[in-house]
Structure 1
Amino acid sequence: MTEKNHADVNTLPFERAIEELESIIKRLEEGKVPLAESVEIYERGEALKQRCEELLKAAEMRVEKITTDAGGKAKGTAPLDVK
C-alpha cells in the first residue's frame, strides 16, 4: 500500500473506515479478486482495521462514568476503567 493511501486511511472517520473495511472483507470472501489485487486490498483492510481500533480506543478514553456518594446520589465523574 502506498504512503498516500495510508495517509488517506488516517483521516477517515470511524463510520467511513468500517464501511470500507466491511466492503473489502466481502470482496475477499467472494474469492473473485485477482491475487495481486487481493494482497493490495488486504493491506488496505489492515490499515483500516488499525484506524478503527485507534478511533474506538480514543472514544473509550473519553467516556466517563458517574460516581455516586454513599446515598446513591451523583457526585461527579471519573475516567472509565479501561481494562
Structure 2
Amino acid sequence: MSDEQTPVSELGYEQARDELIEVVRILEAGGQDLDASLALWERGEELAARCTEHLDGARARIDAVLGDDDEGGTARG
C-alpha cells in the first residue's frame, strides 16, 4: 500500500473492495507495529463502509426499477 492514499469517498466499489482485501491480507500477515495496525484497521473500516454504501445504492436502484415494473402492471410470481 502506498503512502498516498485516495480518499475513501472517491473510491468506486471495485477499488474499495480490492484495497480492503489488501488491508485484510496485511493485517493477517502480522508484523506491523501497533500504530500501523490501527491505521490499517481504521482504513479497512472506512473501506468496508464505502463498499456497503455502493451496495446499498445498487440495491436501491434495483428496487426502484422493480418497483417501477410493478407499478406498470407487470405481474411477478
TM-score normalized by the length of structure 2: 0.74
Structure 1 vs Structure 2 CA RMSD:
2.2
Structure 2: segments with no counterpart, 5+ residues: none
Counterpart position of 1:57? 56
Find the aligned partners of 2:74 and 2:21 in 1 and give their Cα distance: 39
* Cα deviation, residue 75, structure 1: 4.0
**Unpaired runs of at least 5, structure 1:** 68-73, 78-83
Alignment partner, residue 8 of structure 1: 7
Structure 1 or 2, whichever has the larger Rg, is: 1
- In structure 2, relative to structure 1, the CA distance for the partners of 1:76 and 1:11 (3 Å cut) is farther
1:39 paired to 2:10: no
Greater strand proportion: 1
The number of equivalent residue pairs is 66
Q: Which has the higher helix share?
A: 2
Whose relative contact order is higher, 1 or 2, with alpha carbons under 8 Å and at least 6 apart? Answer: 2
